[in-house]
Chain A
Amino acid sequence: MTQGLLGHLADFVRALRSAGIPVGVSEGIDAAAVLGAVDVLDRRQLRAGLAAVLVKRAVHRPAYDTLFDLWWPSLLGEGSAAGQPSGDDSPTDPEALREELARLLLDGDLDIDNEALRRFARDAVASLGRGDAVPGRQSFFSYRVLRALSPDTLVSRLLDALLAGADRGGLAEQVARQTIRERIAALRAAIEDEVRRRVAEERGRDGVARTAIRPMADQVDFLRAQQQDLAALRRMVAPLARRLASRLAAKRRRGRSSRLDFRRTVRSSLATGGVPIVTHHRPHRPHKPELVVLCDVSGSVAGFSHFTLMLTAALREQFSRVRAFAFVDTCDEVTRFFAPGVDLLRATQRLSREADLVWFDGHSDYGHAFEAFVERWPDVVGPKTSLLVLGDARTNYRSPGLATLKGLVARSRHAYWLNPEPRRQWGSGDSAADVYAELIEMVECRNAEQLGAFVTRLLPV
């Protein structure tokens, strides 16, 4: 039996590794020690205990939870074998289930370990979720359950009940809506867990594990980010800028090898009989990095430019000398929208409304944008400036403005181009990335991880 349990644990650890969670040998040994220490029959203890040794970064936790549910399922099959018999007395037709759901959602707060919620999800998936995957083979689908239950149509009823006669439209409604949103999200999660469990029983858990793991937040492609990824990504970019700033500040403070102040050294050596025991140095001349950001905000790179603007805003709070310019087919300065302390979402809205970015037809035109930039702000890029261009280099077959860019690069101290497209697509179709890459150092920056790597490696110190 012990052998079986340890073997199972080793399997689980292997699954974690293949999902991209780094688990070393020593962590595996610790996990075995955990099995000996906690009550293995209490699932919550087991989950928390194994997480404590196997998961060392918060971004890995969702993947861990998914795999944990697959490898250590709460029960098998219909669930009637383990514990109380369900299925006989529980309702099976959609209407009755909807009634029960409304009661459940109204009843109280649901977290993922809520027993009533789990049982409901079990019943709902068993009676509503079954469908034909391929002819002759049945499987379970969460969308079937959610469509039949359609929890969103219950919102107005729940709202009435929660508000209990209070006025609509004010604070109370907003708070109640949030409560309902949270409970429905918990329901969705429970149903998806249950479906994964049932599917895993039929198709084997390895197959499910491969498809069920969502990419971790720092691996999500900027250009393909979905709504829920966006929030997670936004949270990741903010500390990135703060970290960068504190790193730069520390470097500036710590550097001691400035030039020797000969006069002061000789002067103070008189006190020690002419032997220069203490050397004096000239104070450091503070280096003030100037950063100029040129950012493509056209529709094709919308997801990406959002993050770079966010990074710009965060840098703007730390450094006084950051200037941001945005372009679609012409260029405008957008620094004023990112004054320290402003709300970022509002800033991006204002940017798209007020800034003068479109000149001709609203498709990116790099050539014209670069020319407009040089013409209107000829002295922004100088020998102390680091230039950062952000965009996918898709020119719509218009002039790429190579000469203008070359001039900019030559005048700046450093120049980098961050491209959200994978390297193998550079130069395909209307992409001028390969041509640009000969003039300027172009870096692939598809996700937050690559952005982080770039920031720590390159930005001016």
Chain B
Amino acid sequence: MPQQSPYFASVSDVGKRLAAAGYLTDPAIATTVFLADRLGKPLLVEGPAGVGKTELAKAIATATGSGLIRLQCYEGLDEARALYEWNYKKQLLRIQASSDDAAWDAVHDDVFSEEFLLARPLLAAIRQTEPTVLLIDETDKADVEVEGLLLEVLSDFQVTIPELGTITAVRRPLVVLTSNATRELSEALKRRCLFLHLDYPSADREREIVLSRVPDIGTALADQIVRTVRALRALELKKAPSIAETIDWAHTLLALGLDTLNEEALRATLGVVLKHISDQVRAAGELRLN
């Protein structure tokens, strides 16, 4: 594979350019993204739902001016959906269109050529000549067999098709895998990846995120929202509110025209941050809303 020039010059460059793409990093995120680019390794991002794992991949694509190819994993995902598939309808047409049996040899080689290959996300990403970010989303949802499928793609950036041979990447894509950690991914997969555990951000960073996503909200209210969300997270709820919920909440309060978060406002909008009724009851009790 030809040496390709890295996208980012330094760790601080990563931070700056991701911030310009609307994603505020902390040193850990910036360093890991920088290493993924420098060492040419896939990046496995793990963490609870809604802390911005998918957003990170999108921001990297924006910051580097790359195209984004996304493979959404689900239970039952197979080779034909992830890697490639032969376009058998077109193959049939080709066979029927060729006139006599004289052309059999030609046809039989012909129907297994590039023309009849349907590239699915993994193969598509490998064959791109333009800069590409490949996002493999919710890897933990896929079956264990799919991980085996990913190994060849992730370590050597190549795909082997029995009828055609091995297709090697012209330009190595930047790969981001995300996982909610509902199950432990295999050691073989983890070994090939850089690991980044994204957790709920520090108060400072979360405040900045809210301010950058919802610019119309005042600093004081943003601060209040962030502190309240942190108090909620400390409660051991079924589903602790994540950054996505914090931002939704800020939008909600803004839309309602509230400029301070008091008991009344919290009671009215608790459904935005807590999505289980038992969590709401619990939070109301602990935060003395009644």
- Which residues from chain A sit less than 8 Å from chain B, CB to CB? 24, 26-27, 30, 33-34, 37-39, 42, 44-45, 47-49, 51-53, 55-58, 61, 108-109, 111, 113, 169-179, 181-182, 231, 234, 238-239, 242-243, 246, 250, 341-343, 345-346
- Please report the total number of B residues contacting A with Cβ < 8 Å: 50
Q: Cβ of A61 and Cβ of B197 under 8 Å apart?
A: yes
* Among B31, B238, B266, B289, contact of A45 (Cβ-Cβ < 8 Å): B31
* A111 (CB) vs chain B CBs: closest residue: B202
CA distance A38 to B10 in the complex (A): 8
Q: Cβ of A34 and Cβ of B287 under 8 Å apart?
A: no
Q: Could you say which residues of chain B place their CB within 8 Å of the CB of A108?
A: 204
Kindly list 6 other residue pairs between chains A and B, CB separation below 8 angstroms, not including A44-B27, A171-B288, A172-B262: A52-B31, A56-B191, A111-B204, A170-B288, A171-B262, A181-B234
CA distance A48 to B41 in the complex (A): 15
Q: Could you say which residues of chain A place their CB within 8 Å of the CB of B196?
A: 52
Q: Cβ of B35 and Cβ of A341 under 8 Å apart?
A: no
Binary contact track B37-57/A, C-beta < 8 Å → 1, others 0 = 011010000100000000000
B183 part of interface (Cβ distance < 8 Å): yes
CA distance A34 to B181 in the complex (A): 25
Q: Could you say which residues of chain A place their CB within 8 Å of the CB of B38?
A: 37
- Which residues from chain B sit less than 8 Å from chain A, CB to CB? 10-11, 27-29, 31-32, 34-35, 38-39, 41, 46, 75, 143, 181-184, 187, 190-191, 194-197, 202-204, 224, 227-228, 230-231, 234, 236, 238, 262-263, 266, 276-279, 281-282, 286-289
Q: Cβ of B191 and Cβ of A27 under 8 Å apart?
A: yes
* Among B39, B181, B238, contact of A37 (Cβ-Cβ < 8 Å): B39
CA distance A56 to B288 in the complex (A): 40
* Among A27, A42, A52, A113, contact of B35 (Cβ-Cβ < 8 Å): A52
Q: Cβ of B27 and Cβ of A174 under 8 Å apart?
A: no
Q: Could you say which residues of chain B place their CB within 8 Å of the CB of A182?
A: 203, 230, 234
* B261 (CB) vs chain A CBs: closest residue: A171
Q: Cβ of B288 and Cβ of A37 under 8 Å apart?
A: no
Q: Cβ of B27 and Cβ of A45 under 8 Å apart?
A: yes
Q: Could you say which residues of chain A place their CB within 8 Å of the CB of B46?
A: 58
Majority-rule SS of A interface residues: helix
Q: Which 10 A-B pairs have the closest CB atoms?
A: A48-B28, A178-B231, A48-B31, A44-B27, A52-B194, A109-B203, A343-B278, A56-B190, A58-B197, A52-B32
* Among B32, B39, B191, B266, contact of A26 (Cβ-Cβ < 8 Å): B191
Q: Cβ of B231 and Cβ of A243 under 8 Å apart?
A: no
Q: When A44-B27, A45-B27, A178-B227 are in contact, do A55 and B35 touch as well, CB less than 8 Å?
A: no
* Among B31, B181, B195, B228, contact of A175 (Cβ-Cβ < 8 Å): B228
Q: Cβ of A51 and Cβ of B203 under 8 Å apart?
A: no
Q: When A56-B195, A234-B236 are in contact, do A341 and B276 touch as well, CB less than 8 Å?
A: yes
A-B contact pairs, 15 of them (CB 8 A): A27-B191, A42-B11, A44-B27, A44-B28, A47-B28, A49-B32, A55-B195, A56-B191, A109-B202, A113-B27, A174-B231, A174-B286, A181-B234, A242-B182, A246-B75
Q: Could you say which residues of chain B place their CB within 8 Å of the CB of A178?
A: 227, 230-231, 234
CA distance A73 to B191 in the complex (A): 27
Majority-rule SS of B interface residues: helix
Q: Cβ of B231 and Cβ of A48 under 8 Å apart?
A: no
* A172 (CB) vs chain B CBs: closest residue: B262
| Closest CB in chain A relative to B75 CB, distance in Å | 6
CA distance A173 to B288 in the complex (A): 9
CA distance A243 to B228 in the complex (A): 31
Q: Cβ of A49 and Cβ of B31 under 8 Å apart?
A: yes
Q: Cβ of A39 and Cβ of B11 under 8 Å apart?
A: yes
* A108 (CB) vs chain B CBs: closest residue: B204
Q: Cβ of A343 and Cβ of B182 under 8 Å apart?
A: no
Q: Cβ of B276 and Cβ of A171 under 8 Å apart?
A: no
CA distance A174 to B281 in the complex (A): 16
| Closest CB in chain A relative to B185 CB, distance in Å | 9
* Among B182, B203, B279, contact of A243 (Cβ-Cβ < 8 Å): B182
Q: Could you say which residues of chain A place their CB within 8 Å of the CB of B263?
A: 170-171
Q: Could you say which residues of chain A place their CB within 8 Å of the CB of B31?
A: 38, 44-45, 48-49, 52
Q: Could you say which residues of chain B place their CB within 8 Å of the CB of A231?
A: 236
